[in-house]
Chains A and B, each alone.
Chain A
Amino acid sequence: MIQGTIGLDNAGVVLNGAPVWQHVTGHFAAGSMTAIAGANGAGKSTLLRAILGEVPLAAGTITLDGLHPRDFGYLPQARKIDRAFPISVADMVLGGAWHRMGAFGGATRALRQRAADALDRVKLGQQAGRMIDALSAGQFQRLLFARLLMTDARVMMLDEPFTALDAPTTQDLLGLVCEWHEQGRTIIAVLHDMHQIRRCFPHVVLLSGGRAVWGETARILTPATLRQAYDGMQPRWPDTDA
């Protein structure tokens, strides 16, 4: 296996006594760009969290060949962050340098400069002194990308990075993700927009009915597999049958 590859072998996760997905086998090659797709509740975010060791496996193994936890950068769903907390944009971005600063290290001049550069890169350079609750949804997502930029991680894990964003913001941030890919970083992103996946992500993991279909996007995202992945959810809500 090439160094930097993330491999799943017959992996399964059980939450609250119910299997989320099982018998998942496949690998994210080093430097690859993969989308994770599937209906709500299919276990997309759980797959990210399992790779990061946040969710224990009920079966199988996940191997992180040559990768250390600090090699992973994570972009959480924006709604899971307390935006009312009184912290400035600049301080929030510096949080991305946790691996360098740790709990007690100081923010050096070089790190502050990197944070300023990261904010400039996502067009938030003028907002550094503002509090995070003063940002719009799009600006806040740009801020999360700037923090991710600060991690300088080899593997970028993004959980619904473009949800509820307007087209220009999505375009800007997608451009940044493509740039990371060109730099040789591994990209794994949970996405809902099939057009976006087809256009930009060469590989996809489609979670459907507790299983994963894994491979090249053009081969995996067929009308039949999509129907199975998304229509397959309907029996859980009988009211929608009508």
Chain B
Amino acid sequence: MSGLFSVLWGPFADFGFMRRALVACVTLGMGAGPVGVMLQLRRMSLIGDAMSHAILPGAAIGFLLAGGLSLTAMGLGGIGAGLGVALLAGLVSRRTHLAEDASFASFYLTSLALGVLIVSARGSNIDLLHVLFGTILAIDGPALYLMGGITTLSLGLLAVIWRPLVMECVDPGFMRMSGARGGLYHMVFLFLVVINLVAGFEALGTLMSVGMMMVPAATARLWTRRLLPMMALSALVGMGAGLVGLLVSYHCHLAAGPSIILTCSVLYILSLLASPAGIRAGNSLSL
């Protein structure tokens, strides 16, 4: 028993960096999970992925201005870049016949290329790797406070805009005709997506932070058809995957970030095999 305890808890009892990484995973899972569910239900999964790339140039500029990995500077830059791309994509889709996902695709690729160019021109390859894939084992106290603040803001805002967001998802036409400002809530929601991605990128990098948002959400959707339990389960899956991923990384000497996301993926695949709405159900259930 004590052997099992030392395997499961030992790394966190012995090392402060493991405890901080665990707190980061719990915080990220709690914030990103519910947002991921809503993103999927709005059929915007790939827009989340695009957004995670879009924040790169802002993060890169913050990185350069701060002279290194600073979540505050990179976070502010990332929020600016993410919202800029969201606004531009929204503007283009309203002024042209291009759909919003097509505008996102164009802008995020531009943004990604710009971000890599900035980091590689002024920083080292190690810096580039840190920005792209994160350093969850190097999270410090201030970064945790920022993550906690973002998660609190995210859950609070989600609760505030809950009703219009749900209504806008189900029936945007009725929402507009009822005089509600659907576009405003859409933008607030995109803001939530951006800040959660920003919260995750010091831990998991700009490329993988979206994993904490989308994979747990997809897993949760396989287990329940109710919205609130779906969001709670998505958060739990993210937090659980963080714990298991960190342990796997510690005991098997693997990179922590990818271990966490791969644990999310394993849970997703197991859910596909075992859940009532998984592959056993075939096409009879559509969630």
Q: A16-B97, A72-B177, A98-B180 are in contact. Are A84 and B163 (CB under 8 A)?
A: no
Number of residues in A with C-beta < 8 Å to the partner? Answer: 29
Instruction: With A86-B225, A87-B227 as known contacts, state yes or no: A95 contacts B177, CB within 8 Å.
Output: no
- The answer to whether A92 has its CB under 8 Å from any CB of chain B is yes
Contacts of A131 in B (CB 8 A): 225-226
B 225-252 contacts with A by CB, 8 A = 225-227, 230
- Please give, as numbers and ranges, the residues of chain B lying within 8 Å of A82 by CB-CB distance: 43, 169-171
B97 / chain A contacts, CB cutoff of 8 Å:
16
Write out the residue numbers on chain A whose beta carbons fall within 8 Å of the beta carbon of B160: 104
10 A-B contacts (beta carbon < 8 Å):
A52-B177, A69-B179, A76-B171, A76-B173, A81-B174, A84-B286, A85-B41, A86-B226, A95-B174, A132-B170
B164, B171, B226: the one contacting A81 at CB < 8 Å is: B171
Chain B's closest residue to A16 (CB) is B97
Q: With A86-B41, A86-B226 in contact, do A99 and B178 touch (Cβ < 8 Å)?
A: yes
Interface Cβ pair total, 8 Å cutoff: 69
Complexed CA–CA distance, A52 and B175 (Å):
12
Task: Assess whether B161 is interfacial by the CB under 8 Å rule.
Answer: yes
Q: Which of A80, A81, A99, A103 gathers the greatest number of chain B CB atoms within 10 Å? A: A103
Contacting residues of chain A (85-114) with chain B, CB-CB under 8 angstroms: 85-87, 91-92, 95, 98-99, 101, 103-104
**Cβ-neighbour of A84 out of B161, B166, B176, B287 (below 8 A):** B287
Shortest distance between the CB of A139 and any CB in chain B (Å): 16
Q: How far is the CB of B276 from chain A (nearest CB, A)?
A: 14
In the complex, residue of chain B having the shortest beta-carbon distance to the beta carbon of A134: B225
> Which residues of B from 251 to 287 have beta carbons under 8 Å from A?
286-287
Q: A54-B176, A81-B171, A85-B169 are in contact. Are A103 and B161 (CB under 8 A)?
A: yes
Q: Is the CB of A76 within 8 A of B169?
A: no
- Tell me if A86 and B179 are in contact (CB < 8 A): no
Give the contacting residue for B163; candidates A69, A99, A103, A147; CB below 8 A: A103
Pick the residue among B161, B177, B286 that contacts A54 (CB under 8 A): B177
How far does the Cβ of B242 sit from chain A's closest Cβ, in whole Å? 25
CA of A101 to CA of B180 in the docked complex: distance in angstroms?
A: 11
Interface residues in B76-134 (C-beta closer than 8 Å to A): 97
Q: In the bound complex, do residue B170 and residue A98 qualify as a contact, i.e. CB atoms below 8 Å apart?
A: no
Instruction: Tell me the residues in window 21-48 of chain B with beta carbons closer than 8 Å to chain A beta carbons.
Output: 41, 43
Asked whether any CB of chain A lies closer than 8 Å to the CB of B146, the reply is: no
A81/B179 contact (C-beta < 8 A), A16-B97, A86-B225, A104-B163 known: no
Q: B167 in the interface, Cβ–Cβ < 8 Å? A: yes
Given contacts A81-B170, A82-B170, A85-B41, contact A103 B180 (CB under 8 A): yes
B97, B161, B166, B173: residue with the most chain A Cβ atoms closer than 10 Å:
B173
Residues from chain A with a CB closer than 8 A to the CB of B171 are 76, 80-82, 95
Q: How far is the CA of A101 from the CA of B169 in the complex (A)?
A: 18
A213 to B: closest C-beta gap in Å: 26
Contact bitstring A121-155, B, C-beta under 8 A = 1, else 0: 00000000001110000000000000100010000
With A82-B171, A84-B286 given, is the CB distance from A98 to B230 under 8 Å?
no
A214 proximal to B (CB < 8 A)? no
User: In whole angstroms, how far apart are the Cα atoms of A191 and B220 in the complex?
Assistant: 41
Nearest-Cβ distance from residue B93 to partner chain A, whole angstroms: 14
Most buried by A among B161, B176, B179: B179
Question: Any chain B CB within 8 A of the CB of A162?
Answer: no
Are B164 and A86 within 8 A (Cβ)? Answer: no
10 smallest A-B Cβ distances: which pairs? Answer: A74-B177, A76-B173, A98-B178, A69-B179, A85-B170, A103-B164, A81-B171, A86-B227, A86-B225, A95-B167
